[in-house]
Amino acid sequence: MSITNLIRLNNLRGDLFGGVTAAIVSLPLALAFGVASGIGPLGGLYGAVCVGFFAALFGGTPTLISEPTGPMTVVMTAIVAGLTASNPENGLAMAFTVVMLAGVFQIIFGFFKLGKYITLMPYSVISGFMSGIGVILIILQIAPFLGQAAPKGGVMGTVLALPQLLANINPPEAILGATTLAIIFLMPKKLKRLVPPQLIALIVGTVISLTVFQGADIRRIGEIPVGLPPLQLPTFTPGQLTTMFVDGVMLGMLGCIDTLLTAVVADSLTRTEHNSNKELIGQGIGNIMSGLCGGLPGAGATMGTVVNIQTGATTALSGLTRAIVLLVVVLGAARLTQPIPMAVLAGIALKVGIDILDWSFLKRSHKVSLKGALIMYGVLLLTVFVDLIVAVGVGVFIANILTIQQLSEVRAADVKLISDMDDDARLTSEQKQLLDKGQGRVLLFCLSGPMIFGLSKVIAREHNAMKEADALVVDLTQVPAMGVTASLAIENVIRDAHDKGLLIYIVGASSKVQKRLQKLGLFDLIHPDQIMDDRTEALQKAVEKTHDKKSALQS
């Protein structure tokens, strides 16, 4: 990226102001996500600094703000818990290695220009997945919100421990958590435009804890080391290699989806177009650096991006400014964060979980599509109680199968076997007359549109309905492409006709379709003169040959 794309002097003030404002928004969220993940507040801060700086420097969306997000934090929490449980000594280092792996996979996705395919998922799956992550984040914050340590077992452990958590509420911390939520929810919109409600909640909650609850037993962030972080070198163990690889792919894919969806939001606000593949490379570099510095993984953050744009940012200088401001906080003002109560951070993270829930689609999904609603709720439940990869895999599979079924039903009308007794609107009067002259001995097999595998059953059905004849004209004029399954079904039609001694004419096949038929060996059965471009001409030849054959038999 050239320096002119990073810095434009005519908007220097807007970019600097946008970056500073985004840093103020990011600070409480970075602390909250760091604590929620189990890495600690410093991990959240270094994730915000590293991902934010390098994604802005090398990314393809100038106004995008990248930092630890709710979805990435939820996945990282599970990764940290799983790896530290299986390997207490090296588990955390291995978790940071997974962050680096995620970055490597993102760079690979961007290098091979897969950005445009990443978000090609049904909305019902994305909605269920994101809402499920929101539910997980909410559940995981219940224990710290009520003033207690998180129970073992993640989501299920927290759900099973709910009665015990409710019975042992720490009143001062619960009040602080509730106050935090109240401030964020009830803060007037005019005031929200001036200062982030999360920052106000952080300051007010901390002040109340130091004054009103001065003598109470309140869990706080505690001391944060000042200075640059020690480098986390990649750490692997043979027993966890497969798990780390799968976790890296999952984290990288989620980061891609999260980022590119936010980039679309940025495009709509700035009326520009982002470079998705370049953005993935930038995100990958950012996550590699974050893993090396012991930080959380990050992605494009909608809240920070919107604030950045609304405060006047137009170039990547805003993202660089934000990262530098946060780095100054880490190096010089980290001690100021020591008294922040854990319950306040839990309240901030809990609000993020509530915001991640796709309330709009949850309310009306059953009205829009019952099947879509079932897929969405199924993915949501699988995400929360089973596994993130399983949830997305099952959701995409079912949604694609249903889509293919619908497309096949719509396209079924474009696969038809026509004889002299049919009155098909797609035929000209001359073509109808030619079929009438054929007296049922000439069959026209019309296909139209992309031949996806869902149409193979329709092709087979028309094939089975084929009566005795002398000639078969296969019209592929309006077929731009053929899938393997549909190609094999068409091959069965042509080979069966050849075995029965029918004259076969192929009409209008594009070069791409001809290559497919040639690879199937069908052109070995058909004379080159019977591969034609015009349907009418093919019907004329078929009728003439049929009459010649009939005359020869009579004589």
Per-residue pLDDT reduced to its tens digit, 80-116: 999 998 999 899 999 999 999 999 999 999 999 988 7
Do residues 424 and 443 lie in contact, with contact meaning Cβ atoms separated by under 8 Å?
no
Q: Is the pLDDT of residue 14 over 90?
A: no
Mean pLDDT of 135-141: 92
Do residues 251 and 104 lie in contact, with contact meaning Cβ atoms separated by under 8 Å?
no
Tell me how many domains the chain contains. 2
Do residues 485 and 477 lie in contact, with contact meaning Cβ atoms separated by under 8 Å?
no
Tell me which of 289, 323, 358 is where a domain ends: 358
Do residues 310 and 65 lie in contact, with contact meaning Cβ atoms separated by under 8 Å?
no
Do residues 105 and 249 lie in contact, with contact meaning Cβ atoms separated by under 8 Å?
yes
Q: Is 384 contained in some domain? A: no
On whether both 86 and 151 belong to a single domain, the answer is: yes
Mean pLDDT of 301-316: 88
CA nearest to 276, candidates 295, 294, 263, 290: 263
Dihedrals phi, psi of 477, to nearest 5 degrees: -55, -40
Distance in angstroms (rounded) separating the CA atoms of residues 326 and 408:
54
> Residue 452: how many CA atoms within 13 Å on its side-chain side?
14
Angle at 455 between CA 449 and CA 456, to 5 degrees: 130
Q: What is the mean pLDDT of the chain?
A: 87
Q: Tell me which amino acid residue 423 is.
A: D
Q: Is the pLDDT of residue 554 over 70?
A: no
Q: Is 392 contained in some domain? A: no
Dihedrals phi, psi of 358, to nearest 5 degrees: -85, 75
Residue 5: the pLDDT is 47
Q: Is 545 contained in some domain? A: yes
Instruction: Specify the CATH number for the domain of residue 533.
Output: 3.30.750.24
Distance in angstroms (rounded) separating the CA atoms of residues 137 and 37:
10
Do residues 408 and 458 lie in contact, with contact meaning Cβ atoms separated by under 8 Å?
yes
On whether both 448 and 321 belong to a single domain, the answer is: no
424 Ramachandran zone, left/alpha/beta (phi>0; psi -120 to 50): beta
Residue 478: the pLDDT is 86
On whether both 437 and 321 belong to a single domain, the answer is: no
Q: Is the pLDDT of residue 75 over 50?
A: yes
- DSSP reduced 3-state for 478: strand
- Cα 287 to its chain centre, rounded Å, is 18
On whether both 354 and 416 belong to a single domain, the answer is: no
Q: Is 375 contained in some domain? A: no
- Secondary structure string (H, E, C) spanning 119-151: CCCCHHHHHHHHHHHHHHHHHHHHHHHCCCCCC
On whether both 444 and 335 belong to a single domain, the answer is: no
- pLDDT, tens only, 468-526: 888 899 999 888 888 888 888 889 989 998 888 888 999 988 888 888 888 888 888 88
Residue 72: the pLDDT is 92
Helix or strand run (H / E) with residue 471: strand 471-478
CA nearest to 490, candidates 453, 524, 537, 536: 453
Angle at 28 between CA 22 and CA 30, to 5 degrees: 80
Return the DSSP state at 483.
-
Do residues 2 and 312 lie in contact, with contact meaning Cβ atoms separated by under 8 Å?
no
On whether both 342 and 452 belong to a single domain, the answer is: no
Q: Is 494 contained in some domain? A: yes
Residue 2: the pLDDT is 46
On whether both 344 and 431 belong to a single domain, the answer is: no
Distance in angstroms (rounded) separating the CA atoms of residues 109 and 90:
28
Q: Is the pLDDT of residue 155 over 60?
A: yes
Residues in the chain: 555
Range of the domain at 225: 3-358
Q: Is 158 contained in some domain? A: yes
Distance in angstroms (rounded) separating the CA atoms of residues 285 and 419:
63
Residue 46: the pLDDT is 94
On whether both 263 and 348 belong to a single domain, the answer is: yes
On whether both 416 and 304 belong to a single domain, the answer is: no
Do residues 205 and 219 lie in contact, with contact meaning Cβ atoms separated by under 8 Å?
no
On whether both 22 and 107 belong to a single domain, the answer is: yes
Distance in angstroms (rounded) separating the CA atoms of residues 174 and 143:
10
Bridge partners, 447 (sequence order): 415
Distance in angstroms (rounded) separating the CA atoms of residues 90 and 96:
10
pTM: 0.78
Mean pLDDT of 281-297: 96
Residue 79: the pLDDT is 93
Q: Which of 38-42, 238-242, 307-311, 332-336 has the lowest mean pLDDT?
A: 332-336
Tell me which of 313, 334, 358 is where a domain ends: 358
Dihedrals phi, psi of 341, to nearest 5 degrees: -70, 145
Query: CA separation (Å) from 91 to 76, 82, 105, 246?
Result: 12, 8, 21, 16
Q: Label residue 451 by pLDDT band (50, 70, 90).
A: confident
Tell me which of 340, 358, 376 is where a domain ends: 358
Q: Label residue 423 by pLDDT band (50, 70, 90).
A: low
Q: Is 363 contained in some domain? A: no
Q: Is 386 contained in some domain? A: no
- DSSP reduced 3-state for 476: strand
